[in-house]
Amino acid sequence: NSITIKFPIFYKVQCLFFFLGGEVVGFFEWVCDFFLVVFKTDLSPFFPTEWVTIANSLLFKCHIHLRIHELQDCDANVFIALYQSILGEKVPDLIAIPRSQEDDAHNVQAVIDSLALDYLQVSLSHITGENIVKGDKESIKNLLEIFDGLLEYLTERISETSHEKSAPCLLRRWAPLGMEMKQNPLVKSLDLETQRTPFL
């Protein structure tokens, strides 16, 4: 019973540690691994991992009223919301009312294709909507990192050119954005030689 009482406390405290740095998150990951190996108990739902923290930070900064508790919670709704919030445009060819997993995969693929063709102008063939919807962690991490880099990049550029009003206008004016962002360490997922994030 004592364990049952403590778990909700961990869950509530997760919101507090959401704002703390990677060292705290790294400690939580170590604790989860320790309990999994020694006690065969998975505590990961009660502690934020690095990528869960990154995803929730993105959602918070974009004023999106969604929060995830594990990486696989990053579904089509999350990436559509990030796309529309950061870029200020609707996802092209979006199925407004998805009725199946195939529809969700189509919508995520539309996000990926638009990022690749309309904004970054580089291949993102190593990320697919199907894998995202299936919960593939590597694909989710790569797409999250691209959005994280985009947001940070745009935030810096908008602050430098504060007289500009629209992020999409800035994006289209800095063509090709992908070539410029490939030089930017913020978006490591655009490393086309390895086709994956270097530290994954």
Tell me the pLDDT tens digit for each residue of 59-106.
999 999 999 989 999 999 999 999 999 999 999 999 999 999 999 999
What's the domain range around 182?
72-190
- Specify if 175 maps to a domain: yes
CATH of the domain at 117: 1.10.418
Number of domains into which the chain is organized: 1
Judge whether 174 lies within some domain: yes
Whether residue 8 has pLDDT greater than 50: no
Q: How far is CA 100 from CA 8, 96, 107, 137, in A?
A: 33, 12, 11, 21
Q: 199 vs 67, 76, 141, CA distance in Å?
A: 25, 24, 11
Would residue 145 count as lying in a domain? yes
